[in-house]
């Protein structure tokens, strides 16, 4: 059985209010939210969790985690949206492609971006086990608070990828990197 997609007018009032700025900015209500709104309190917490973590890290580190996890877990739904966001933030296509290559030692990445990507890759690939070296390297460069934010952000993007993949959601937008 498929999860019914809620229409905008069927969303609980508190979720509709939370999503309104995003829907107005993007011009559509994404399928992820149309499904996840069946659990309005959890969706509201997920959105607050995301925003709290985005405030805890510089944009380039946030986007490094988002692109890394969405690429590694084959989640084009999220990857395409973050590619577009990166371009809006002024990050160039070469940097986006470097992150998506999943090779932390690439010259296009700063030392902090490389360490955070290495941490994200290790956590996802090894299910969080035996990642002390990558975590310590991140902490040494960006500090405890930002390293914890990066770890929590990995978990956030893993959650999104698993849900999107389980729901078999198609990306709402194409990759801005493939547009003519």
Residue 1 pLDDT = 56
What is the band of 27 on the pLDDT scale with cuts at 50, 70, 90?
confident
Rounded CA gap, 31 and 97, in Å? 26
Percent over 90 (pLDDT), the chain: 91
Q: What single DSSP character describes residue 10?
A: G
Rounded CA gap, 23 and 15, in Å? 12
The Cβ of residue 159 has, within 10 Å, a number of other Cβ atoms equal to: 14
More confident residue, 22 or 170: 170
Rounded CA gap, 119 and 136, in Å? 9
Report, as an integer, the average pLDDT of 89-109. 96
Instruction: Convert the pLDDT of each residue in 117-174 to its tens digit.
Output: 999 999 999 999 999 999 999 999 999 999 999 999 999 999 999 999 999 999 988 9
Residue 103 pLDDT = 96
Which secondary structure element, helix H or strand E, spans residue 114, and what is its range? Answer: helix 111-125
């Amino acid at each position: 059985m498929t999860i019914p997609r809620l229409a905008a007018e069927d969303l609980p009032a508190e979720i509709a209010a939370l999503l309104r700025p995003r829907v107005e900015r993007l011009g559509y209500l994404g399928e992820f939210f149309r499904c996840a709104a069946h659990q309005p309190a959890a969706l509201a917490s997920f959105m607050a969790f995301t925003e709290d973590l985005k405030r805890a890290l510089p944009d380039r580190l946030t986007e490094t985690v988002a692109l890394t996890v969405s690429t590694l877990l084959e989640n084009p739904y999220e990857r395409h949206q973050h590619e577009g966001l990166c371009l809006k933030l002024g990050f160039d296509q070469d940097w986006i492609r470097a992150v998506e290559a999943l090779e932390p030692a690439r010259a296009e990445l700063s030392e902090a971006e490389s360490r955070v990507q290495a941490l994200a890759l290790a956590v996802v690939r090894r299910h969080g086990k035996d990642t002390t070296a990558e975590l310590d390297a991140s902490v040494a460069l960006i500090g405890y608070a930002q390293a914890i934010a990066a770890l929590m952000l990995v978990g956030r993007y893993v959650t999104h990828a698993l849900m999107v993949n389980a729901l078999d959601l198609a990306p709402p937008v194409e990759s801005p990197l493939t547009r003519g």
